[in-house]
Structure 1
């Protein structure tokens, strides 16, 4: 995947306000046009991000989803669903009440996977922990984009 100039400009100064703006714009784009399963069918605010840049971020979010689902879920709730840390904590607490008899059980294709540690962590976090998880997820997305940019530079030199 090739990074767009917009992403290269956003990551050149590290975890800058330009990078966080890009994540916010991606969340607005993904809310309506996302291809990772977030589409809600409504767009609350117009996103100025172009589709190619959004797709690069979508790939980074997809990689995060596979490797760290709890971190991905917090980032998705924060950027795509436009929740703050208190809303996220409330949602996790509600989910625990709804699933109290099936805690940690998730459906798959014809099977159930059981991960009680994952469920317990999410159900017991507070606002500070949500912000820490969000920050870690942002760093992971940034590092993935940085890695893609460095690979692009290496390929140019060859």
Structure 2
């Protein structure tokens, strides 16, 4: 029975576009993350990845299926180990917050009710009490709904800013 089992780590010569088993997206494995979860990583860095923890294996896999069913190790065409540089958390840069399209509760309800005509896409320029500036992309039913959503996201710490209070919000219709 164990002979029929496929290996969890697959040797590849380049990054696969999708997992051969489940068909999901293949993402980077980030090492040096400690106990950080994928959700915490997405909120902080706004990128898809799998957390590799603090221990880096001798022959580390560098990509993983987004569901975690398979991991991929880079090898040379002759099958020997390729020289790789693992991605470390300390070297990661945050992607812009506009990579995430936030949706307000009212817009979610409008989507469920198939009322697409009342939904609008907004870009928000936010300034916090610590003079931090961020641009958010929000789908909402009105400008005030988008402002409420932005204020809530900042207050709950979902945007990755230290400040928790919006002192200025500028709303623009997105293209």
Q: TM-score, normalised by structure 1?
A: 0.23
Structure possessing the higher relative contact order (Cα contacts under 8 Å, 6 or more residues apart): 1
Q: Which has the higher strand share?
A: 2
Q: Which has the higher helix share?
A: 1
